[in-house]
Chains A and B, each alone.
Chain A
């Protein structure tokens, strides 16, 4: 069953008076439980595609469906709810809340959702702190962490609500290969155990190798969709 439907999507940015065609007619279907890699050179439109799927931006033309819902038909409120409850987003630049501690940053989406007790929230956050290898930094502020550590906080924040879909924009780009491997393993784990759908962009072949499928895009077009050997 598909969780994402993208059909004939184009995205044109306006840079002053020049139009930048970031996506020129992309179509793809993502099934539930996929562990999908979006690969392509810098500037090919990976981030743009993820933003559209993650409902933080809107396409110029074309259709984006998330969980069977046409996102162009949803109100801003419904879209926000969709982002909060269905989607976890790991941004290329970590985008943490500077005035909150690491623990609080990770806990924040849970607070927005409401529903869990303090103890339940703490259990989840601590579990992710451990899993991402930053267990001892819970009380620190993001500004006290290295780039790699911040990236792990961003990952933990995206995973904490156990969303159906996780979008990760170059999640390992700022990490050393060991940490990158840990993060990929963590995501792979969630994918296997909970059936969480993952879409992550990367241009690292080692990372791509973990994917169940790879979408290669170039110049704002899907070049090819490859199946990788180890499919889930």
Chain B
């Protein structure tokens, strides 16, 4: 029987070629769009997360704040070697770590200035930075020298400087006076997404110099685990361990450190050193929000499209089913149950939906692959925003399949109402139906 059902459904589809082609094409284009948008979002997310995680945070970070007065705050871990020792003892999952200075300064060139979140790096021990950053002028190794700095391309353009030029960094210190240091730009690297808008790297000791810090002070220890999935667990354990060993530890707060530095910590009523253990997810909260925003936007777009499509499908199906009301009446009269009638129509729309949506998904995949291969340059203005220099789609088969299934389901559900209406008619009424 199923074979006959399928045959009936398939033949009915081919009988109204024009209308079904129209419906199929509509479904195909929506699925295609859905797949493309999904792949683009995934592409953005992929590149953004890659760069952001490797540059801004470890899997787990041991940072902290030092407050000279209750109204101030500096992103500091003083006496970090001891903290590091305790950390290494408590985290057998550790793969490797880096020690990062944290700071914030105004960079001033001959012709312009901008605020920058600074990372103080010991470039010899920063494998991730070397992996992710692509110099377009100078070399990364130069960053090992004192009073040197790395800028992203966009920053260099904005400050109108290039490799070899000198910048003045001006930073507020704990005592409320501005310290300055002159640094030479030794390397300019390609932008890597939104983070390259506001953060730059300087040699670690230069950062200490800027703030007048001892060699035992740093911003944070970035821990990279063998398995990133363990991050939350390790963070919780570290908090406990630090507390047990007498450090003061801050409550978990899923925000990047610079948000805490500028917003929450200065208004807290305590002084001295506190440690703050965060995970990569805490630090990237804003990136995640941004990606979430993109997803909401695409989701909304898709929803609107779906509504339009569903209305279109409902209309077309209603017409199709009305045309076949007589046939339904006959089938009912010779003993076909209502649910069987429904089943036949569902089968028909499911076939149509599956064919249309699959075609759309395949088309979109081909298009995405083609666009990837063509390596289309994203306009400068949007590059930063999308974390992409070239338009990159990240196709995930599972996503495409679920898109196809979702839209097929929507189609089938949309067909239920008109089919139900036809199936409910008295057989004789249906048989005498005109139209």
Contact = CB atoms under 8 A, between A and B. Distances in A.
Interface of A: 51, 54, 56-58, 76-77, 80-81, 83-85, 87, 89, 91, 95-100, 104, 108-109, 111-114, 157-158
Contacts of B340: 112
Contacts of A111: 1, 4
B15 A83 contact: no
Contacts of B335: 80-81, 83-85, 87, 109, 112-113
Contacts of B124: none
Contacts of A84: 334-336
B428 interface: yes
B5 to A, nearest CB: 9
Interface residues on B, range: 20 to 34
A3 B288 CA distance: 75
Contacts of A157: 334
Given A56-B426, A111-B1, A89 B11 contact: no
A112 B428 contact: no
B128 interface: no
A99 B323 CA distance: 14
Contact of A83 (B1, B8, B333): B333
A59 to B, nearest CB: 12
Contacts of A113: 335
Contacts of B429: 57
Contacts of B8: 97, 99-100
For B8, B340, B428, the residue with the greatest tally of chain A CB atoms inside 10 Å of its CB is: B428
11 contacts: A57-B426, A57-B427, A83-B335, A84-B336, A91-B330, A95-B327, A100-B11, A104-B7, A109-B335, A112-B1, A112-B334
Interface in B316-346: 326-327, 329-338, 340
Interface string B1-26: 10010011001100100000000000
B431 interface: yes
A99 B11 contact: yes
Contacts of A80: 332, 335-338
B128 to A, nearest CB: 63
A54 B332 CA distance: 12
B332 A114 contact: no
A118 to B, nearest CB: 10
B43 to A, nearest CB: 45
A77 B428 CA distance: 16
A109 B11 CA distance: 19
A84 B332 CA distance: 9
Contacts of B329: 95
A91 B333 contact: yes
A144 to B, nearest CB: 14
A81 B330 CA distance: 14
A57 B428 contact: yes
Contacts of A96: 330
Given A57-B428, A91-B333, A99-B8, 14 more contacts: A56-B332, A57-B426, A80-B335, A81-B335, A81-B337, A85-B335, A87-B335, A97-B8, A98-B327, A99-B12, A100-B8, A100-B11, A111-B1, A112-B336
A157 B340 CA distance: 19
A98 B15 contact: yes
Nearest to B4: A111
Contacts of B327: 95, 97-98
Contacts of B12: 99
A104 B1 contact: no
Which 6 residue pairs are nearest across A and B when measured between Cβ atoms? A84-B335, A99-B11, A95-B330, A56-B427, A57-B428, A83-B335
